[in-house]
């Protein structure tokens, strides 16, 4: 299970600015390749998808493979032309979804 995701989005920007968004979610990211003490494979359990939308339009997404480290950190840049809300979604192998949102004022 993951803990509450953390996201850094500037609170303010000017129209046309390209901003940097940083995300981090705490998650063990079990690859499915390791074995337990009995020699049995530990089932895969990873965050396999990430998506970010701004005012309802997807601005960044990523399919994540088992090779990614625990506690995946993603950083990306987005051009903003208007005020609005970023929504972030992480999807786990078991179907669990973790979400958060941040607002930005553009002026």
> Hey, where are the domains in the chain?
6-36+43-106
The tens digit of pLDDT for each residue in 37-87 reads 999 998 888 999 999 999 999 999 999 988 888 899 999 999 999 999 999
Class of domain 6-36+43-106: mainly beta
Task: Look at residue 66 in the predicted model and tell me its pLDDT.
Answer: 80
Of all residues in the chain, what percent carry a pLDDT higher than 90?
A: 78
* Strand-by-strand arrangement of the 47-54 sheet: 12-13, 97-106, 84-92, 47-54, 57-63
pLDDT at 1 over 80: no
Task: Look at residue 28 in the predicted model and tell me its pLDDT.
Answer: 85
Task: Look at residue 32 in the predicted model and tell me its pLDDT.
Answer: 84
């Amino acid at each position: 299970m993951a803990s509450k995701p953390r996201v850094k989005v500037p609170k303010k920007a000017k129209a046309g600015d390209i901003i940097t968004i940083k995300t981090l979610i705490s998650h063990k990211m079990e690859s499915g390749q390791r074995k337990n003490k009995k020699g049995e494979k530990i089932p895969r359990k990873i965050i396999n998808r990430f998506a970010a939308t701004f005012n309802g339009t997807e601005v960044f997404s990523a399919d994540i493979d088992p090779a990614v480290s625990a506690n995946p950190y993603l950083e990306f840049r987005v051009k903003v032309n208007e005020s609005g809300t970023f929504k972030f979604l992480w999807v786990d192998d078991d179907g669990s979804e973790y979400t958060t949102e941040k607002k930005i004022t553009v002026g």
